[in-house]
Amino acid sequence: MTDSTDIYSAARDGFRERYGREPLGLWSAPGRVNLIGEHTDYNDGFVFPFAIDRRTVVALAPREDGVIRVGSTFAADTEEMAVESLSPDRIAGWSAYPFGVAWALLQHGADASTATGFDAYFASDVPVGAGLSSSAAIESAVAVALNEVWGLEYNKRTLARAGQLAENQVVGAPTGIMDQSASLFGKQDAAVFLDCRSLDAEVIPLGFEGAGLEILIIDTKVSHSHADGGYKDRRASCEAGAAAMGVESLRDLDADDLPRAESVLDDVTFRRVRHIVTENQRVLDTVRTLREEGPRAIGGLLDASHVSMRDDFEISVPELDLAVATAQASGAVGARMTGGGFGGAAIALVPSELVADVSRAVSAAFADAGYAAPDQFTVRPSEGARAER
């Protein structure tokens, strides 16, 4: 991993070396962390992610011959494809992301006759597979670059949908639009309040900087083989719960509906439903609390979110529970697992002066429990995708 000043020269130098010319420009997009709102996206609900200070940079220049070439510090080879051959067929390997976004932008009405070929080279300091969405970072970097180079003038919402379309159709991952929205709409010291039904995105100041708060990521590095099955199973439970309750999606239920849900649904489905209903409310409460009371007051909502995922949605694992409990006991304002569950990372909202203490306590607790050492680092809510000049 390179530090954030290096990724710009790595992208530029890599481009020069690979293609023997200068890039037209550099564009970049960040990874993201979900502050609160888990598994609510596919229930038409609310999520509240922020863009982080880890980015993917693309150096890019158009070509006259209709050929696309992509290279990355991740890969020795350069992958090649003609613009006119772009298709939704699954493409194996990492080039599915850039080729997929190019294809997806064409699906949104970009004129194929003005869509030139291009050379692109990527460098990144977003950790891959740590739940920080390096995939949305590469997609959004390509989307903003081509938006400019192809003269598309699409808004961020359309660019986010293109990234999602690429990930769903070309990469083959059935993800929602949260990651791309966070990566595109992010602002410094702010999070993106996203309504997954209307796709309205609102940037909400977090005020972490003024309050002296930081987000500590605790990556347990646990990944469970049943994560995919667990995800599908939770989605199915949510769909079954909505159908049994006679609503289009669980977004249409609120706390007042829970007594009826308890009488209509079996215990497991009821608890899945209760997580979604209460989690949506916690996202709304987090946004309101930030506005009215400031960031130190949201800790209880983060803690409650974790309990709901552990006990009702049952997607936590002992490592995540230990990370959260230890962070809470050693000075965090609040903590929760983040991401799809069955492994991955927890986040803790921690006063700056206590970050080292919390981190040490978590490492010690993991060692005591006989767990592999977690990866820990802080992230700052940062600017979304942009052109770099």
Whether 116 and 102 have beta carbons less than 8 Å apart is answered as no
Between CA 149 and CA 60 the distance in angstroms is: 9
CB of 225 to ligand ADP, least distance (A): 15
135 or 140, CB closer to Mg ion?
135
State the binding partner of 129 from Mg ion, ligand ADP, none, CB within 5 to 8 A by kind. Answer: ligand ADP
Nearest to 182, CA basis, from 162, 165, 157: 157
Q: Does 97 bind ligand ADP (CB under 6 A)?
A: yes
What is the greatest pairwise CA distance in the chain?
68
CB of 106 to ligand ADP, least distance (A): 21
Coil, helix or strand at residue 353: helix
CB of 218 to ligand ADP, least distance (A): 16
CB of 174 to ligand ADP, least distance (A): 12
Q: Does 34 bind Mg ion (CB under 5 A)?
A: no
State the binding partner of 163 from ligand ADP, Mg ion, none, CB within 5 to 8 A by kind. Answer: none
Runs of H (alpha helix) within the chain = 6-19, 96-107, 134-149, 156-165, 178-185, 208-211, 227-244, 258-264, 267-292, 299-307, 318-329, 355-369
Written as one letter, the residue type at 130 is A
Residue 179 annotated as catalytic: yes
**Which one among 4, 18, 66, 128 touches ligand ADP, defined by CB under 6 A?**
128
Binding residue count for Mg ion, defined by CB under 5 A: 2
138 or 348, CB closer to ligand ADP?
138
SS (H, E, C) 121-180: EEEECCCCCCCCCHHHHHHHHHHHHHHHHCCCCCCHHHHHHHHHHHHHHHHCCCCCCHHH
CB of 204 to ligand ADP, least distance (A): 23
**Which one among 28, 34, 40, 56 touches ligand ADP, defined by CB under 6 A?**
56
State the binding partner of 74 from ligand ADP, Mg ion, none, CB within 5 to 8 A by kind. Answer: ligand ADP
Q: Retrieve residue 229's tokens.
A: 């099955």
Q: What interhelical angle do 96-107 and 134-149 show, nearest 10?
A: 50
Q: Does 72 bind ligand ADP (CB under 6 A)?
A: yes
The one segment of 82-90, 111-119, 123-131, 346-354 that binds ligand ADP by CB under 6 A: 123-131
Q: Retrieve residue 174's tokens.
A: 């059935």
CA atoms within 13 A on the CB side of 193: 16
Q: Does 164 bind ligand ADP (CB under 6 A)?
A: no
Question: Which parts of 97-136 interact with Mg ion (CB under 5 A)?
Answer: 133, 135
100 or 117, CB closer to ligand ADP?
100
94 or 366, CB closer to ligand ADP?
94
Choose the catalytic residue: 41, 44, 119, 179. 179
Q: Retrieve residue 347's tokens.
A: 């986040």
**Dihedral pair phi/psi, residue 337, rounded to 5°:** -70, 155
Q: Retrieve residue 195's tokens.
A: 């309504």
Q: Does 135 bind ligand ADP (CB under 6 A)?
A: yes
Q: Does 1 bind ligand ADP (CB under 6 A)?
A: no
CB of 348 to ligand ADP, least distance (A): 19
Coil, helix or strand at residue 336: strand
Between CA 376 and CA 360 the distance in angstroms is: 10
State the binding partner of 220 from ligand ADP, Mg ion, none, CB within 5 to 8 A by kind. Answer: none
The one segment of 37-45, 130-138, 293-301, 361-369 that binds ligand ADP by CB under 6 A: 130-138
What residues make contact with Mg ion under the rule CB under 5 A?
A: 133, 135
What residues make contact with ligand ADP under the rule CB under 6 A?
A: 56, 72, 74, 94, 97, 122, 124, 128-129, 131-135, 138
Give the active site residues: 179
